[in-house]
């Protein structure tokens, strides 16, 4: 399984080489690029916020989607109050 995390991802992104230039590939482009080269299970992450986003990445070849930021405003989340307010201003 591969998690394809585009530059839209909130929080942190993993990288292989911190000295290499950052190509800032979008999740959509990354999913399509990886799918052209392999058929292993592919999970899209980064910028996917709702059902429409999930549908979009799956139509591009992802087998599933990983959401994170989308859940930070849920009542069950222990998100810090200041961060919560900042997110509300961005939504």
Residue 75 pairs with which residues in a beta bridge?
none
- Give the containing element (helix H, strand E) for 60: none
Domain map of the chain by residue range? 2-6+25-90
Topology of domain 2-6+25-90 in CATH is Rossmann fold (3.40.50)
Which tokens sit at 27?
A: 């999740």
pLDDT tens digits along 14-69: 677 888 887 788 999 999 999 999 999 999 999 998 999 999 999 999 999 999 88
Distance CA 73, CA 76 (A): 8
């Amino acid at each position: 399984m591969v998690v394809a995390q585009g530059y839209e991802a909130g929080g942190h992104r993993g990288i292989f080489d911190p000295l290499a230039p950052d190509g800032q590939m979008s999740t959509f482009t990354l999913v399509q690029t990886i799918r052209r080269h392999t058929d292993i299970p592919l999970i899209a992450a980064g910028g996917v916020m709702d059902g429409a986003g999930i549908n979009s990445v799956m139509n591009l070849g992802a087998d599933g989607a990983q959401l994170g930021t989308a859940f930070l405003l849920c009542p069950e989340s222990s998100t810090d109050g200041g961060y919560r307010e900042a997110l509300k201003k961005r939504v």
